Structure 1
Amino acid sequence: MADITMRAEDDHAVLFARKRVRAALADAADDSELFAALRSTDLGQVSVVEVNLTTPGTCMRNGKAHRVEKLFVISAEEWASGAGTVTLDTYSDACMSHDLRGHRQPEIQKENAPRLKAALTAITRMVAVEVVASDFTSYGIPTKDGFEDLPDEDPDILDSWYMAEVPRRTEWLQSFLPPNSPRFAAETDAPVSFVEVARGGRTVGYLWAAEDGVAAGFEPRTPAGDEALDAGQDWLMRLSEAKQRGLAPAQALHELASWPGSTRSGTVVPGTQQEASSLEDLQDLSGRE
């Protein structure tokens, strides 16, 4: 899937924007709505075209391949002047010396880091421009052929899963709820009950309720990519409606386990209710391939 944006030359206003365009040429050619929108855009006013291409792939863990729906995002920007950039972002920690929870993973890094290096080498050859590593982030230290090993003694670097990723995705999902809508607490120190939510036979997340009677939510399964985030919006809306009707978290979980769902939300998989000693344990599960 690709997100396409065209911006104006004078004020960088968005002239055209379309998300999740099917990247296969045959699919794009059949997208009459896309081409109608492009024909109505004054291409003479375009100063920059941005294309963000989401690509699936596999990560190796202990010799087994695990599919990740959003392994890389390839971003290409082309200016009217002829200048351009190509950026590669990865959404997996498999190539790093530590996972996003701060645990060392030398064997997993050994399996995956050479594959990332080979991909970057191929991209360099294809675009005929040397790779330039991006700036240091809370997730890791990029290099021109992968990632620098992280030091064990720096907890601020190694705690990026709970310090950055989980709060970011929780805030993003809740932003889709109407302002002032009822909502359960999103954090808890209590144990939680949870069920699997699947879409098209693939787990996209976990619906949960805390034993404290206050908190409930949806944890998207990271390897499922954007489908998990789409589903999360629908489940949080359903939880908000349950809260509005006065249901407790456990009651809402029980009721929603029988909701037939939709092609976007997915449905609860029967017989999957489990207990986690903490919400952090469930969040840890949601981030793994």
Structure 2
Amino acid sequence: MSKASVAVRSVHDTRDLRVRVDGLSLKSEQLSAEATLSRAVAEADSLEGDFVVGVRINCPGYWLESGVKYRAEKLFAIQVDLWKNSLLVVTLETYVDAWLTMDTRDREQPEVYAENAPRLATALHGISSLLGCAPTPGDPNRHATPTETGFEDPRIDGPAYDDSWGTFEIATRSRLLRSRIPASEDEYQEITEHPVRYFTIRRDGQTMGYVWASVGDEAAGYEPRTAAGEAAFEEGAEWLLRLRDAHGRGLNALAALDWVAQSPPRPEGGLVVEDTPQMAPSLDALEELSGRY
């Protein structure tokens, strides 16, 4: 289900926040006047003065690979900003690389592109028809160049971007995850060059991520499933704290993995799927799994 937020700020001082509503659930049927989102917009409309009204909607959806649907909890984000009741700006952001000829690990994926790029082009055409103007493409980045109908191939130059997934994305995910828990030295190593054992963590029928331990040294951690969105990081913070508890008990990494599987952070939270841990040939392979599907 889509989630929305509404914020109304003064044009002259963005710290002057007059209306803020987060976590609004949107259903597919038409919004009624009694809906929370409708009431928030009505409250914004009643204010006197110059304001920027912003509505942000996080949209789940599916991308295709070999005819199989894979769900992402944040496939797109739509940001609508109304300035002084006169200027309307609509921004569409995507959080899936299925529209690119090369994925964000810099691997060619022409079949995935062929299945999904026409869907994005159709969506952009529909938005353009609704608003009565063509989209203004965003700035190019290290992965792709936006166009009015989707994305062009990126022009990657030099060795700095040969492994952008490992160089940039993994580091960003790790910082985001660890920012949710207090800093501590009482924990396992974060990386390993050895194979890893792991358990799949699932909540409400959805895979949130993977708790793991190295088979060759004292490394253990949690890999959030990118497609699950913010919920994967919220869940991961609790499993990292549970691993920290295991470390405080003096358990080695593999023993800690078994212990946390039998003692999950919260009964109502995510639970281990398998009876016995799975094996990945490397932490890189598990990061690859968590980052794509």
Calculate the TM-score normalised by the size of structure 2.
Answer: 0.86
Cα offset, 1:97, TM superposition: 0.6
Amino acid at match of 2:22: K
Aligned counterpart for 1:66 among listed residues 47, 66, 70: 70
> CA deviation digits over 1:200-225, x for unaligned, max 9?
12211100112343322111112222
**RMSD of the alignment, in Å?**
3.0
Structure 1 pair 205–49 and aligned structure 2 pair: CA distance change class (3 A): same
Residue in structure 2 matched with residue 22 of structure 1 by the alignment? 25
Alignment partner of 1:47 is 2:51: yes
Structure 1 pair 169–130 and aligned structure 2 pair: CA distance change class (3 A): same
Q: Distance in 2 between matches of 1:43 and 1:239?
A: 49
Superposition map of 1:202-217 within 5 A: 202-217=206-221
Aligned counterpart for 2:228 among listed residues 224, 230, 255: 224
Superposition map of 1:65-144 within 5 A: 65-144=69-148
Q: Which runs of 5+ in 1 are unaligned?
A: none
Q: Distance in 2 between matches of 1:108 and 1:124?
A: 25
Alignment partner of 1:256 is 2:260: yes
Cα offset, 1:112, TM superposition: 0.7
> CA deviation digits over 1:176-219, x for unaligned, max 9?
11244633332222221111000112211100112343322111
Structure 1 pair 55–74 and aligned structure 2 pair: CA distance change class (3 A): same
Structure 1 pair 137–76 and aligned structure 2 pair: CA distance change class (3 A): same
Residue in structure 2 matched with residue 10 of structure 1 by the alignment? 12
Structure 1 pair 159–86 and aligned structure 2 pair: CA distance change class (3 A): farther
Cα offset, 1:273, TM superposition: 1.3
Farther off after superposition, 272-281 or 53-62: 272-281
Alignment partner of 1:199 is 2:196: no
Residue in structure 1 matched with residue 166 of structure 2 by the alignment? 162
Aligned pair count reads: 288
Structure 1 pair 127–158 and aligned structure 2 pair: CA distance change class (3 A): farther
Kindly indicate whether the alpha-carbon contact (under 8 Å) linking 1:138 and 1:164 is maintained by their aligned counterparts in 2.
Answer: no
Kindly indicate whether the alpha-carbon contact (under 8 Å) linking 1:176 and 1:233 is maintained by their aligned counterparts in 2.
Answer: yes
Structure 1 pair 20–257 and aligned structure 2 pair: CA distance change class (3 A): same
Residue in structure 2 matched with residue 173 of structure 1 by the alignment? 177
Amino acid at match of 1:93: D
Structure 1 pair 136–264 and aligned structure 2 pair: CA distance change class (3 A): farther
Cα offset, 1:146, TM superposition: 0.8
Secondary structure at 1:281 match in 2? helix
The percent identity for this pair of structures is 36
Kindly indicate whether the alpha-carbon contact (under 8 Å) linking 2:101 and 2:108 is maintained by their aligned counterparts in 1.
Answer: yes
Kindly indicate whether the alpha-carbon contact (under 8 Å) linking 1:141 and 1:148 is maintained by their aligned counterparts in 2.
Answer: yes
Q: Distance in 1 between matches of 2:22 and 2:162?
A: 33
Amino acid at match of 1:17: R
Superposition map of 1:269-288 within 5 A: 269-271=273-275, 273-288=277-292
Cα offset, 1:138, TM superposition: 2.7
Structure 1 pair 30–121 and aligned structure 2 pair: CA distance change class (3 A): closer
Kindly indicate whether the alpha-carbon contact (under 8 Å) linking 1:97 and 1:149 is maintained by their aligned counterparts in 2.
Answer: yes
Q: Distance in 1 between matches of 2:115 and 2:158?
A: 25
Structure 1 pair 239–19 and aligned structure 2 pair: CA distance change class (3 A): farther
Q: Which runs of 5+ in 2 are unaligned?
A: none
Farther off after superposition, 182-191 or 54-63: 182-191
Cα offset, 1:274, TM superposition: 1.3
